[in-house]
Chains A and B, each alone.
Chain A
Amino acid sequence: KNEVEQSPQNLTAQEGEFITINCSYSVGISALHWLQQHPGGGIVSLFMLSSGKKKHGRLIATINIQEKHSSLHITASHPRDSAVYICAVSYNTDKLIFGTGTRLQVFP
């Protein structure tokens, strides 16, 4: 069993839809990271969470430490949100353990 599980693997949406990507992990962590990777490879860190909820623009990330689960929500999705979204966990160091990623395509 992978240490970090993401679902779904692929997601298509119409512009304007509300999107949720889920991430589960198997052992206690110090932080959970949501990353975005566009075609071409560049990775951007969206959120780093150790508890609760964070919001940045149309993106919201939540984490439930007891259930070892996190969600990334995108409100009012737009074609420019099309990317691969990756969940990763860390244990008090910069070593990241990654999920397999969710490929999101938003159509106009």
Chain B
Amino acid sequence: KAGVTQTPRYLIKTRGQQVTLSCSPISGHRSVSWYQQTPGQGLQFLFEYFSETQRNKGNFPGRFSGRQFSNSRSEMNVSTLELGDSALYLCASSLTGDGDTQYFGPGTRLTVL
């Protein structure tokens, strides 16, 4: 089975722009979670989707949003980018979405200038 894929792998944007990141889970996995990793804050949970429904949301401003499609692929969007949004964005998928083993994608490294 193919692993979790994320596109693009690298992105450079300027302040005020918006960005959309994509995640394709392992085939058959219905749960997709998104995480942000920065040197200062470490790994932080953004959101979790299961069967197109957002089940959990982390403590991030409303500029961060996401969605999941019927084929379980997920996107996250960040609007009005700030310098502090520069980070590695990781998505992970799992079969059951109930705390089962998660399989991580390689991440998208976003740089905001």
Contacts and interface: CB of A to CB of B under 8 A. Distances in A.
A91 to B, nearest CB: 7
Interface residues of A, number: 23
A102 B88 CA distance: 18
Contacts of B90: 41, 43
Nearest to A90: B99
A43 B42 CA distance: 13
Contacts of A59: none
B interface, by DSSP: helix, strand, loop or mixed?
strand
Given A94-B92, A95-B33, A95-B56, A48 B106 contact: no
Nearest to A50: B99
Interface residues of B, number: 28
A101 B31 CA distance: 25
B42 A93 contact: no
Interface stretch (B11-19, B43-51, B67-75): B43-51
B42 A30 contact: no
B66 interface: no
Given A94-B92, A95-B56, A98-B42, 9 more contacts: A41-B106, A43-B92, A44-B104, A48-B100, A48-B101, A91-B99, A93-B98, A94-B98, A97-B45
